[in-house]
Amino acid sequence: MTQFNYQNGRLFAENVDVAEITSTLRTPFYCYSKASLRKNYLAFEEALDKFNSRICYAVKANSNLAIIKTLGDLGAGADVVSEGEIRRALASGIPAKKIVFSGVGKTREEMEFAITEGVGQFNIESKGELETLNEVAKKLNKIASVAFRVNPDVDAQTHNKISTGRKEDKFGIDINLAPHLYQKAAGLPAIEPVGLAVHIGSQLTSLKPFREAFKRVADMVHIIRKAGHSLSQLDLGGGLGITYNDEKPPELQEYAELIQNTLGKLDVHLTCEPGRFLVGNAGILVTSVIRIKETGNKRFVVVDAAMNDLIRPALYDAKHGISSVLQPRSENTVLSEVVGPICETGDIFARQIELPELSENDLLYLKSAGAYGAVMSSTYNSRPLIPEILVDNVKFTIIRARPSYDDLLGLDQIPS
């Protein structure tokens, strides 16, 4: 998180004093660094420079239009999983031909929209989906380019809820069925099979699962080509982990070398779909202390952010580093639990961590909150969604405003 640093005891996002932001915008809010987004993207691009490749940002990681546009302006395409995400990518200026439509449950309506808009590639996950896409494309008198997402039965060795490449997971087709479905696709009038896709999970901190998956995909490429089919595309998905606390994910160069060693001789065009890697460490969640609550042998720091704003700790047992926006003058710390105001026992950001003595209105920030934070937020407990801001050097822009309570209530309708 190189763009979030202390200067004279005050946290800065690039060249913006985070505490000063709270004079115009009340907490909680998300704060992103444009310089971090740019740095992460260019590093990924440089690592893949030796390959015939493209980067399609996994929109689900953070779907704010300003974030998508920042990456799109650098050259990114988009990996999407819904019509809504297609619309976001298009609204952000990403050409339809640079969009890959993934997801296990595409509807006919979504397929029709994607084909009409000219989306470049569909990642197919079942025989039924292939047949439905053919029907929709034929009706529109179009040809849909498809890659088959294979399930290589590889354990990503990450959290169970974000592992996607095991045979018991809902994603992809059994890799051994790929030749049969490729043959079937080649015979359909409105389908053009172009390749294979694989994505085994998220927040991987070891290259071993990638190696196993890529080797199985390479073997399948040879089998499909030997059967007489053209195969020009490989979609490698995403999944590279980031550092939240003490994780040591692979270096980009190590990842690139793995790709070269397992897939480099296949003469294919590669697609990579990073999400968390690009945006995770580019954002923080800023929150204020509501009060300190002492109960028995525990000290609770109650903050105004909650699990509806950042659900990762409750959903994935994720651990985000937490620090003060203003560096404390004393080195004394107290064992604390950081909790939100939601009426759920699981509304906990951190258990038993050392924090300085804190008082009401003191500012804290949760690190590495740029991915799967705001995008997964909700209005549970009738709490309005919180703002998102984007810092660019010495200025910041609100890229999602906090809705009013009238806006929130106006979504409902009482029948007459």
Which residue is it, tokens 């994505």?
Answer: 199
Catalytic residue IDs: 343
Question: Is the separation of the CB atoms in 63 and 29 below 8 Å?
Answer: no
pLDDT at 2: 76
Give 74's DSSP letter.
Answer: T
pLDDT at 103: 94
**Percentage with pLDDT > 90 across the chain:** 89
pLDDT tens digit sequence for 391-408 = 999 999 999 999 999 999
How would residue 321 be classed by pLDDT, with cut points 50, 70 and 90? very high
What is the Cα–Cα distance from 34 to 12, expressed in whole angstroms? 13
pLDDT tens digit sequence for 214-231 = 999 999 999 999 999 999
What is the Cα–Cα distance from 375 to 62, expressed in whole angstroms? 5
Among residues 298, 378, 297, the alpha carbon closest in space to that of 342 is found at 378
Question: Is the separation of the CB atoms in 28 and 288 below 8 Å?
Answer: yes
Pairing state between β 322-324 and 363-366: antiparallel
Question: Is the separation of the CB atoms in 348 and 313 below 8 Å?
Answer: yes
pLDDT tens digit sequence for 96-151 = 999 999 999 999 999 999 999 999 999 999 999 999 999 999 999 999 999 999 98
Question: Is the separation of the CB atoms in 191 and 124 below 8 Å?
Answer: no
pLDDT tens digit sequence for 332-341 = 899 999 999 9
In sequence order, what E strands does 159-235 have? 173-174, 191-197, 233-235
pLDDT at 356: 93
What is the Cα–Cα distance from 71 to 127, expressed in whole angstroms? 33
In 3-state terms, what secondary structure has residue 286?
strand
Pairing state between β 333-339 and 298-303: parallel
What is the Cα–Cα distance from 121 to 102, expressed in whole angstroms? 9
Residues 6 or more apart in contact with residue 281 via CB below 8 angstroms? 1, 36, 40, 242, 243, 367, 368, 370
Question: Is the separation of the CB atoms in 358 and 328 below 8 Å?
Answer: no
Other beta carbons within 10 angstroms of residue 306's beta carbon come to 26
Average pLDDT over residues 236-253: 91
Give 96's DSSP letter.
Answer: G
pLDDT tens digit sequence for 184-197 = 999 999 999 999 99
Domain architecture of the chain: domains with CATH: 4-32+280-408 (2.40.37.10), 34-277 (3.20.20.10)
pLDDT at 171: 76
Question: What residues does 300 pair with on adjacent strands?
Answer: 293, 337
Other beta carbons within 10 angstroms of residue 75's beta carbon come to 13
